[in-house]
């Protein structure tokens, strides 16, 4: 009997669900079930932020109707993958890290250091009144056009980006849940900035795919990204 999959595409906390919209359309167009949770509002009530982010995301994951959940996390959402997977009960969970942070081998880490330990000082310099500006403003003005050449797709991303509390990036993640050992992770690398994390994933024995591009490659080549996700999930 064919296994029924539910693909859950989780956007980076600094972006919004539109960053996965084109890939979701590709997957749905090929007959697959897809959910794209929005993390909007996860910082509204102050710290701790992680439990609220996980709860908001999981409330938007349909219950039942699938034998297996393919959880796809982009960028900073990778830091939360073990906790998101832990909350999906009763179904096998596969995790695809798409140009994403990966959890430590053991213990816990600050949210930003799960991706790049040198980046937190930069965010502290950017912050004004304890708030970090929207992600597109972290970079030079022409950087977003290079990341997403299509103006309409770029506008979708820009419109959803919001300022976030610096405390979110400084928060220490909860310890890894015991269920993480039973998950089946894989890594999908887009940009050179995530090459080291892809190598770390390979060192851990995870299957790794390279789709050379930029960090928002899922907006540039959604069909290619959707196919790579399906391929990783099938291993």
Say what the pLDDT of residue 140 is.
84
Say what the pLDDT of residue 89 is.
78
Strands 92-98 and 184-189: parallel
Please state, in angstroms and as integers, the Cα–Cα distance from residue 41 to each residue in 14, 53, 136, 137, following that order.
12, 8, 19, 20
Q: How many CA atoms lie within 13 A of 200 on its CB side?
A: 14
Q: How far apart, in whole angstroms, are the C-alpha atoms of residue 187 and residue 176?
A: 19
Say what the pLDDT of residue 1 is.
39
Residue by residue, DSSP assigns 176-214 as PPGGGGG-EEEEEE-SGGGHHHHHHHHHTT--EEE--S-
pLDDT at 35 over 70: yes
Note the pTM of the prediction, 2 decimals: 0.94
Number of domains in the chain: 1
User: By the 8 A CB rule, do 224 and 214 touch?
Assistant: no
Say what the pLDDT of residue 31 is.
94
Mean pLDDT value across the chain: 91
Q: Pick the range with the lowest mean pLDDT from 22-36, 47-61, 65-79, 198-212.
A: 65-79
pLDDT at 65 over 80: no
Say what the pLDDT of residue 135 is.
92
pLDDT at 64 over 80: no
- pLDDT-derived band at 184 (thresholds 50, 70, 90) equals confident
Residues recorded for the chain:
235
Listed residue (45, 80, 189, 147) closest to 71, CA to CA? 80
Tokens 């405390």 correspond to 167
If you average pLDDT over residues 64-77, what whole number do you get?
89
Structural domain harbouring 14: 5-234
Q: How far apart, in whole angstroms, are the C-alpha atoms of residue 16 and residue 39?
A: 7
DSSP 71: E
- pLDDT-derived band at 116 (thresholds 50, 70, 90) equals low
Q: How far apart, in whole angstroms, are the C-alpha atoms of residue 42 and residue 52?
A: 6
CATH number of the domain to which 102 belongs: 3.40.50.1820
Tokens 């290079």 correspond to 146
If you average pLDDT over residues 110-126, what whole number do you get?
75
pLDDT single digits (tens) 190-211 = 999 999 999 999 999 999 999 9
pLDDT at 163 over 80: yes
């Amino acid at each position: 009997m064919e296994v029924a999959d539910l693909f859950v595409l989780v956007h980076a906390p600094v972006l919004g669900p539109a960053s996965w919209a084109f890939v979701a359309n590709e997957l749905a167009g090929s007959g697959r079930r897809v959910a794209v949770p929005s993390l909007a509002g996860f910082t509204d009530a102050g710290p701790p932020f992680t439990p609220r982010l996980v709860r908001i995301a999981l409330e938007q994951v349909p219950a039942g109707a699938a034998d297996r959940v393919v959880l796809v996390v982009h960028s900073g959402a990778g830091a939360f993958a073990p906790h998101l997977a832990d909350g999906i009960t009763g179904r096998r969970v596969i995790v695809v890290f798409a140009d994403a942070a990966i959890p430590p081998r053991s213990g816990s880490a600050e949210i930003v250091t799960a991706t790049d330990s040198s980046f937190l000082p930069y965010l502290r310099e950017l912050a004004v009144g304890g708030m970090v500006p929207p992600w597109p403003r972290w970079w030079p003005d022409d950087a977003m056009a290079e990341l997403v050449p299509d103006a309409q797709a770029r506008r979708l991303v820009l419109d959803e980006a919001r300022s976030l509390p610096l405390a979110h990036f400084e928060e220490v993640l909860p310890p890894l849940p015991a269920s993480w050992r039973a998950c089946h992770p894989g890594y999908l690398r887009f940009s050179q900035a995530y090459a080291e994390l892809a190598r770390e994933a390979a060192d851990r024995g995870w299957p790794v795919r390279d789709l050379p591009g930029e960090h928002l490659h899922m907006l540039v080549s959604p069909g290619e990204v959707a196919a790579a996700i399906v391929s990783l999930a099938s291993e």
